[in-house]
Amino acid sequence: MISISLWAAELYCFASVVLLAVQVGLGAPRKIRRPSSEGFEPSVDVLVPVFREPIQILERTLLAARAQRYPRAEIHVLDDGHRDEVRSLATRHGARYLQGPRRHAKAGNLNHALAQTHGELMAVFDTDHVPTVTFLEETVPWFRDPGLGFVQTPHHFRNPDIFQHAFRLAGRIPNEQDLFNRGIQPARNAWGGAFFVGSGAVFRRTALEAVGGFRLLSVTEDIHTSQHLHAAGWRSLYVDRILAVGLSAEDLASYVVQRRRWMLGCLQIFFRDNPLFCRHLSVRHRVGYFASLYHFFFPLARLVFWITPLYYLLFHLHPILSEVSVLTARLLPYLAILPLVTSVLMPRWPRPFWGPFYENATSAPLARTMLEALLPGSRSFRVTPKGIVTHKRRFDWRSARGTLLIAGATAFALAKGAWELATFGIEQDAYFFNMLWAGYNLLFLLGALMVAWERPQRRREERARCELSVRIRLADGRSIEARTRDVSLAGCTLVLDTSEALPGALDLELAIGSGLRVRGELVYHECRRGRDHVGVHFVDPSDEFRRELLLGVFARSEVWESAAAQTARSHPGLAAAFLLGLAGYFRPLQLSRRKYPRRRLLARRTLLGRELYRDVWLRDVSARGIGLICLGKRPRVEGLWHIANPPGPVRWGRAVYVRRRFAFLWYVGIEAVDESARSIEAPEWEIAA
């Protein structure tokens, strides 16, 4: 039984690679030009289904939908939560409010709207998906083809996924979903196999009506509806350009909720309306849809790979009866070839280390979904939580308890195996092989637990990486030119070419339109990599300012395409990012609060005090303080400090922190005080040249 389960898991992995080859084929996806939109302006109903999502998230989507560069679009808010504030918001933004039926989840809500609208085309956006202003301009012209049933665009996200956030790799590695959205879907599009993924799509009304609307069998109505549209002879198209940006799951619990919903829905289709037996569906479409559903059996295979070496280490049951040399000769080529084949099929989307890492983080909590799919009863629809804010680290015990149990059992088995090997010294090859296997599993399980030990989510607004010219106007009439590094609706990070102390209150003018002005508050001013970086919080921005900033940054496709192009795509780049992420995970969390840029230096000085003499080193200096390095025992820092012959303007100060960096190395921060303090209090310490 042990060997059979391992054989089945290996067969699953091999079949996954074969099915990937069927989906993506060989060679780069072909590019075709968008048809002209001249003289072609069908009416479009823009549908935004909402349930319990925060109002401010819905408002941004409505603002961007209202700004579409398309003349014949009507916006409809489909409220399945029946909230008065949603009705008021829809009215304020010129959208039609439709109260949902509260039946069949999102599919029922969309079908209810289908019966009450009349546009020739229907665009669908999730509540958090902000369309770019060119969304309809880029997608509608494709419907000149009378056989085209729907157009899908990539899902892109304006916040880091849980893995990027945990390891501080936002903007350095692709989002976990990019392999599918920017790799597999474009490749499927080459043979007409791209499918609807829930948002960012446009449908032909007659196509939906021909198949009875959105399918109600599964909680993943998107892929199921696509399957039946293709079976009815309608074609699909994938526009591989970022035309809408949403919110990725913001913590492990949200991520698990989302993946459970996807898994449950796909398994419902697999067992109740399997595409292999769907009438009128072409052979490649049948296999392509089967591949997408088949993927969600990965938790079973992962569980087998976790448990198999434990059979021997805990119970001395051999999973494989073979000489280690023979097993290694057969196993190593297999382990090397499968990733190489995947790299050949997806050359632009390698995933060294990251692929198994993603699966290890979710396999344990998703495993019970496999059982739920086989049990009778209704399935509740759970929306992925959005807008999460936390202020301290926490461990998500609920989501990670299964992973923690497997990791604990693996660690115990390794310790038991090491003790038995050292004590008895028998079956050394078997112990070595299974301990190596269990150790490999444990490394990735520990990585999954690191994701569960969640960093704070302090930002209430998401940042967009973009470069805008900014003019900082000072009270004396001067202005400083800067540019943004990133922008949110609540603030921005500026990069200055010159080093100059800034006041606490700033007047900014952003190069959007004819110039967007706002009052700002200085949050930090630090020198990083030789350039001054300034964090600014917008003070009481007007609704008009926020609207213009949203449309000028977040609703621009080129902003997101530029940011996506900067992520690592090579095997060495992603492997290096994996190692850097592990190292960065253990760095202490520090908020940037220094409001005066530091200048690095290293100069030896003498610290004089009452009956005390010791050498110190000047580490850095700013307009309002200095940093010291002290060796030996912890320095006493009470009282007033006097700096003789200072390298900067600071002559008098008080210590604001003492931090141990290593066993005998201490950092001391001195903040400047008014020189009038000298007349009130005698200095306790003097730093002499």
The model's pLDDT over 606-658, given as tens digits with 9 standing for 90+, comes to 777 765 677 888 888 888 888 888 888 888 778 888 887 777 777 888 888 88
pLDDT at residue 287 greater than cutoff 80: yes
Confidence grade of residue 386 (pLDDT, cut at 50, 70, 90): low
**pLDDT score, position 28:** 66
Cβ contact 290:275 at 8 Å: yes
- Which residue out of 126, 161, 178, 222 is catalytically annotated? 222
Both tokens assigned to 680: 């009130």
**pLDDT score, position 127:** 96
In whole angstroms, give the CA distance from residue 294 to residue 292: 6
In whole angstroms, give the CA distance from residue 354 to residue 619: 39
- Angle (nearest 5°) at CA 51 between 50 and 57: 55
The verdict on domain 43-155+197-248 having CATH code 3.20.20.70 is: no
Mean pLDDT within 453-473: 89
Q: State how beta strands 201-204 and 121-124 pair.
A: antiparallel
Confidence grade of residue 382 (pLDDT, cut at 50, 70, 90): low
The yes-or-no answer on residue 222 being catalytic is yes
Which of 223-232, 593-602, 661-670 bottoms out in mean pLDDT, i.e. has the lowest?
A: 593-602
From its phi and psi, is residue 126 left (phi > 0), alpha (psi between -120 and 50) or beta?
A: beta
Per-residue pLDDT reduced to its tens digit, 104-137 = 999 999 999 999 999 999 999 999 999 999 999 9
Cβ contact 66:133 at 8 Å: no
Identical fold for domains 464-566 and 599-688, yes or no, is: yes
From its phi and psi, is residue 645 left (phi > 0), alpha (psi between -120 and 50) or beta?
A: left
**pLDDT score, position 226:** 97
In whole angstroms, give the CA distance from residue 263 to residue 370: 8
How many residues are there in the chain? 689
Per-residue pLDDT reduced to its tens digit, 315-355 = 999 887 777 777 777 777 777 777 777 778 887 777 767 78
**pLDDT score, position 58:** 96
In whole angstroms, give the CA distance from residue 463 to residue 159: 7
**pLDDT score, position 117:** 96
Cβ contact 15:294 at 8 Å: yes
Residue 511, C-beta contacts closer than 8 angstroms, at least 6 positions apart: 468, 469, 470
- Which residue out of 80, 161, 396, 620 is catalytically annotated? 80
- Residue 28 is classified by DSSP as P
Cβ contact 247:462 at 8 Å: yes
**pLDDT score, position 476:** 81
Per-residue pLDDT reduced to its tens digit, 483-534 = 999 999 999 999 998 778 888 899 999 999 889 999 999 998 888 877 889 9
Domain residue spans of the chain: 2-8+306-326+340-364+381-454, 43-155+197-248, 464-566, 599-688
Q: Output the average pLDDT for the chain.
A: 89
Please report which helix (H) or strand (E) contains residue 175, including its range: none
**pLDDT score, position 373:** 62
In whole angstroms, give the CA distance from residue 592 to residue 597: 11
Q: State how beta strands 121-124 and 44-50 pair.
A: parallel
Q: Which listed CATH number (3.10.20.30, 2.40.40.20, 2.40.10.220, 3.40.190.10) goes with 599-688?
A: 2.40.10.220
Neighbours of 338 (CB within 10 A): 15
Q: Give the architecture-level CATH label for domain 464-566.
A: Beta Barrel (2.40)
User: Which candidate, 187, 183, 164, 274, places its Cα nearest to that of 224?
Assistant: 274
The yes-or-no answer on residue 615 being catalytic is no
pLDDT at residue 679 greater than cutoff 60: no
How is 646-671 classified by DSSP, letter by letter?
-SSS--EEEEEEEEEEETTEEEEEEE
**pLDDT score, position 27:** 67
Name the more confident of 217 and 368: 217
**pLDDT score, position 621:** 86
Mean pLDDT within 247-262: 92
> How far, in whole angstroms, is CA 89 from its chain's centroid?
28
Where b means 16+ CB within 10 Å and e means fewer, 640-676 reads bbbbeebebebebbbbeeeeeeeeeebebbbbbbeee
Residue 238, C-beta contacts closer than 8 angstroms, at least 6 positions apart: 151, 152, 153, 185, 186, 188, 189, 194
Both tokens assigned to 601: 């230096």
Per-residue pLDDT reduced to its tens digit, 410-426 = 999 999 999 999 999 88
Q: Which amino acid is at 554?
A: F
In the chain, the percentage of residues whose pLDDT exceeds 70 is 95
**pLDDT score, position 119:** 95
Q: Coil, strand or helix: which one is 377?
A: coil
Q: State how beta strands 44-50 and 469-473 pair.
A: unpaired
**pLDDT score, position 689:** 64
Per-residue pLDDT reduced to its tens digit, 356-377 = 888 899 999 998 777 766 666 5
**pLDDT score, position 593:** 72
